[in-house]
C-alpha cells in the first residue's frame, strides 16, 4: 500500500510539472584573447601583454497565457568571476519593464561614434606613482552606463521612435540615486539608413552640484559604408567637459571590415586638460563565430591645471591583435 501511494504521488507530481509553464532556455558565450604592444612616455606602462575576456549568458524566457513575455537573464563575466547583467524583464503591448542589475536608458540609447570600432585603446591614464587614481576626463561620448541596480521602462516602438527611462540607486552613504532618459529615431533618407540618438543621466551627490551627463549623435549607413558623429557633455563639481567623436567603417566584403575613428575631450574648468585619441582597425571574419581584429590607437592626455596633482601628461600608442569566438 505504501509503495502504491508513493507511486501515485510521483505520478501526480509529474503531471503537475508537465502542466506548469516551462521556460525556454538559451545559453551563449564569448571568448576573446588579445595581445597588446604598448608604448608610451611612461616607462612603467610600456611592454607587451596578453589577456583574455570570457562571458556566459543564460536566459530563461516564458510566455504567459495573457501574452506577456517574462525573461530572467543571468550574464556572467567568467574571466573575473563577476556578474555582468542580472535582471528580469516583462514585455507586452505596453512596452518593456526591466528590473535588476543592468544597463539603463542612458546606455541603451547613447550615441558613441567609437562603437564603429571594436577594439580601440584609449590608454591608461594613471598617475606616475602607479596609483589607481584615474583622470576624470571623458574618453568617449557614451552615456556613462554600467550595470547598476535600477528599474527601466521602454516604450513599444512607434514607427522609427524608441525611448526609455530609468531610475536607480547606489549606496546610501553616497546618496547617489540617479535618473536617466534616452531615445532614438530611425528613418530612411536618400537610400541611407539614418539614426538619431540622445540620452541624459543625472546622479545625485553629497556635494554642491549633481553630476549631469548627456550623449547625442547621428549614424548614417549606406550600403557597405557607415559614418557616425557624436557629442557628449559632463557637468559637476569642478567638471565642465565637452567631448566630440567621429568614426567611419567600410565593409570590403569577404569578411573584411576596415574602420577609423577619433575622439577629442576638453575640460573648461581645468585649463589645459585635454584628451585626444585616433584609432585604425581591420576586422576579419575567419569563419562563423570566429574573427580576428587588428587595431592601432594613438592617445595623448594633458593634465593642465587638473586639481588632481597625481596626474601627469601621458601619450602613447597601443597595437593589438584580438581573436574572438562566440558560441
Neighbours of 49 (CB within 10 A): 10
| Per-residue pLDDT, 15 | 43
pLDDT tier for residue 10 given thresholds of 50, 70 and 90: very low
| Per-residue pLDDT, 216 | 97
Across the chain, the runs of DSSP E, i.e. the strands, are 24-40, 47-63, 69-77, 82-92, 95-102, 148-154, 161-168, 178-189, 192-203, 211-222, 225-236, 239-253, 256-267, 274-287, 290-302, 314-326
Q: Closest by alpha carbon to 126, among 117, 111, 136? A: 136
Q: Kindly compute the dihedral angle of the four CA atoms of residues 230, 233, 234, 240, in this order, to the nearest 10 degrees.
A: 140
Residues near 307 by Cβ (< 8 Å), separated by ≥ 6? Answer: 238, 270
| Per-residue pLDDT, 20 | 47
Give the separation between CA 248 and CA 113, rounded to whole angstroms: 8
Q: Taking 70 as the threshold, does the pLDDT of residue 311 lie above it?
A: no
Min mean pLDDT across 65-79, 129-143, 158-172 is at 129-143
In the predicted model, what is the mean pLDDT of residues 166-190?
86
Helix/strand/coil for 7: helix
Positive or negative torsion for Cα 257, 28, 167, 158: positive
| Per-residue pLDDT, 143 | 85
In the predicted model, what is the mean pLDDT of residues 190-215?
90
Report CA-CA distances (Å) from 86 to 24, 74, 83, 133: 17, 5, 7, 28
Alpha helices in the chain (DSSP H): 2-19, 105-108
Domains and CATH numbers, the chain: 30-326 (2.40.160.10)
| Per-residue pLDDT, 182 | 97
Which tens digit of pLDDT belongs to each residue from 23-80?
899 999 999 999 999 998 888 778 999 999 999 999 999 999 999 999 999 998 887 7
163 forms bridges with which residues in the sheet? Answer: 183
| Per-residue pLDDT, 126 | 63
Q: What is the CA radius of gyration of the chain?
A: 24
Q: How far does the chain reach from its first CA to its final CA, in angstroms? A: 51
Amino acid at each position: 500500500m505504501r509503495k502504491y501511494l508513493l507511486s501515485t504521488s510521483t505520478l501526480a507530481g509529474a503531471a503537475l510539472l508537465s502542466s506548469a509553464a516551462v521556460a525556454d532556455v538559451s545559453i551563449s558565450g564569448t571568448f576573446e584573447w588579445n595581445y597588446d604592444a604598448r608604448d608610451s612616455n611612461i616607462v612603467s606602462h610600456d611592454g607587451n601583454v596578453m589577456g583574455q575576456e570570457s562571458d556566459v549568458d543564460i536566459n530563461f524566457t516564458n510566455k504567459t497565457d495573457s501574452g506577456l513575455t517574462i525573461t530572467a537573464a543571468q550574464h556572467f563575466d567568467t574571466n573575473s568571476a563577476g556578474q555582468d547583467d542580472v535582471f528580469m524583464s516583462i514585455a507586452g503591448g505596453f512596452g518593456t519593464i526591466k528590473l535588476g542589475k543592468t544597463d539603463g536608458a542612458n546606455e541603451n540609447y547613447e550615441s558613441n561614434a567609437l562603437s564603429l570600432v571594436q577594439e580601440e585603446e584609449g590608454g591608461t591614464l594613471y598617475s606616475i606613482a602607479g596609483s589607481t587614481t584615474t583622470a576624470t576626463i571623458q574618453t568617449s561620448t557614451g552615456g556613462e552606463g554600467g550595470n547598476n541596480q535600477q528599474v527601466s521602462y521602454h516604450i513599444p516602438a512607434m514607427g522609427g521612435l524608441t525611448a526609455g527611462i530609468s531610475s536607480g540607486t547606489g549606496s546610501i552613504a553616497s546618496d547617489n540615486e540617479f535618473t536617466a532618459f534616452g531615445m532614438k529615431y530611425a528613418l530612411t533618407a536618400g537610400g541611407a539608413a539614418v539614426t538619431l540618438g540622445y540620452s541624459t543621466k543625472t546622479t545625485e551627490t553629497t556635494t554642491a552640484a549633481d553630476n549631469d551627463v548627456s550623449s547625442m549623435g547621428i549614424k548614417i549607413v549606406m550600403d557597405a559604408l557607415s559614418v557616425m558623429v557624436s557629442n557628449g557633455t559632463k557637468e559637476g563639481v569642478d567638471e565642465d567637459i565637452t567631448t566630440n567623436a567621429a568614426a567611419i567603417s567600410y565593409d570590403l566584403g569577404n569578411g573584411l571590415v576596415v574602420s577609423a575613428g577619433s575622439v577629442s575631450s576638453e575640460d573648461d574648468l581645468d585649463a589645459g586638460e585635454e584628451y585626444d585619441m585616433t584609432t585604425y582597425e581591420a576586422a576579419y571574419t575567419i569563419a562563423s563565430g570566429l574573427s580576428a581584429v587588428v587595431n592601432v590607437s594613438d592617445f595623448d592626455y594633458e593634465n593642465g591645471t587638473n586639481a588632481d596633482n597625481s596626474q601627469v601628461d601621458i601619450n602613447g600608442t597601443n597595437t593589438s591583435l584580438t581573436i574572438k569566438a562566440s558560441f
